[in-house]
Amino acid sequence: MVSFRRKSKKEDRREVADELKYQEDGDGESKTMGNKINTLFKQSLDRGKKEALEAQQDLKRSLGLGHRPNLVPPGEADINREQRTIELGWHPVAGTTGKWFAEKTMIGQAITERIGRYPDPTQHWAVIVGDFVHQLWMDESLEVIYFNEYFKREDWHTFEVGKTRFNDQALRKAGQMTIHNMRERRSAYNLISNNCQNFAVNMLDNIQLGGHQQFATTFEIYQRATGEGTIKELYVDKHPEEQQYPQTLQQDEEEMPQPKRHDTLQFAQQVMDENTTKLDHDC
């Protein structure tokens, strides 16, 4: 005959304690496993974001965005050389670059009824003097930068807009200063107010005949802010007859011969307006 012994209260309490301990150990293992999974998931997500960012940067570089090497040879910057022709030029931003550029700059742009029409972002403008093209472009963060390249006339539609006495080294500095001043106001490229046309007009304002004193003052401020190099005889104006002095309306000055004005900016703006395709905001 099999006999059964009733467990004592002490034994019952021991069994309950053992069961609770087992459950606690199990919960601890579950929590540890859960933490490991969360950590692995976060690491995987971070790695995915990093790889996506690197892929995006590679794409932008493949599209031509980013800094490029300077092609203007070293030398002393001089703003008192013989006159040279300034041309404005444009060419289409073709292929994949143009498509990406157009989509990137148009998507999300709040083009209002007041603006109505805006320049085609695939039509790129630049300033051309001698053998070099001076232009605005963008880095991988879509912020405006300056770069230059050799001029190939067959690649550009060009328009003569004025004259300058700047040599190539001075033109490079003027282009860098122009971008610096644009970035001080707004560093990011903007289809309406911070684009290649704005750069062209601002650079022309710096390098045109008759703007010597204004450029000298502006460049000195830029030089102090950035520590950039010097320009030969910056304040020595060897052609004062070219200065664009404000015209007065005083009676006693009406008969005095006024300096010849070189309306480079006005003409340049007209050229760009007439030769830039405009896109409707609701396209």
Q: Percent of the chain, pLDDT > 70?
A: 60
Encode pLDDT of 26-81 as tens digits.
Answer: 555 555 766 766 776 676 666 666 665 665 555 555 556 788 899 999 999 999 99
The confidence band for 10, taking pLDDT boundaries of 50, 70 and 90, is: low
Q: What is the mean pLDDT of residues 203-214?
A: 89
Q: What is the mean pLDDT of residues 176-191?
A: 90
CA nearest 244: which of 271, 199, 208? Answer: 208
Q: What is the mean pLDDT of residues 166-176?
A: 96
**What pLDDT shows up at residue 114?**
37
CA nearest 173: which of 224, 223, 237? Answer: 223
Q: Which two tokens stand for residue 139?
A: 């880095």
The mean pLDDT value of the chain amounts to: 75
Residue 129 has pLDDT above 70, yes or no: yes
- Domains of the chain: which residue ranges? 9-62, 84-280
Q: Find the length of the chain.
A: 283
Q: What is the mean pLDDT of residues 157-176?
A: 95
Q: Which two tokens stand for residue 234?
A: 């910056």
More confident call, 92 vs 93: 92
Strand partners, 92: 123
Residue 104 has pLDDT above 50, yes or no: yes
User: Rounded to two decimals, what is the model's pTM?
Assistant: 0.67
Helix axes 168-185, 212-226, angle to 10 degrees: 70
Residue 4: phi, psi to the nearest 5? -110, 135
**What pLDDT shows up at residue 212?**
85
Q: What is the mean pLDDT of residues 1-7?
A: 55
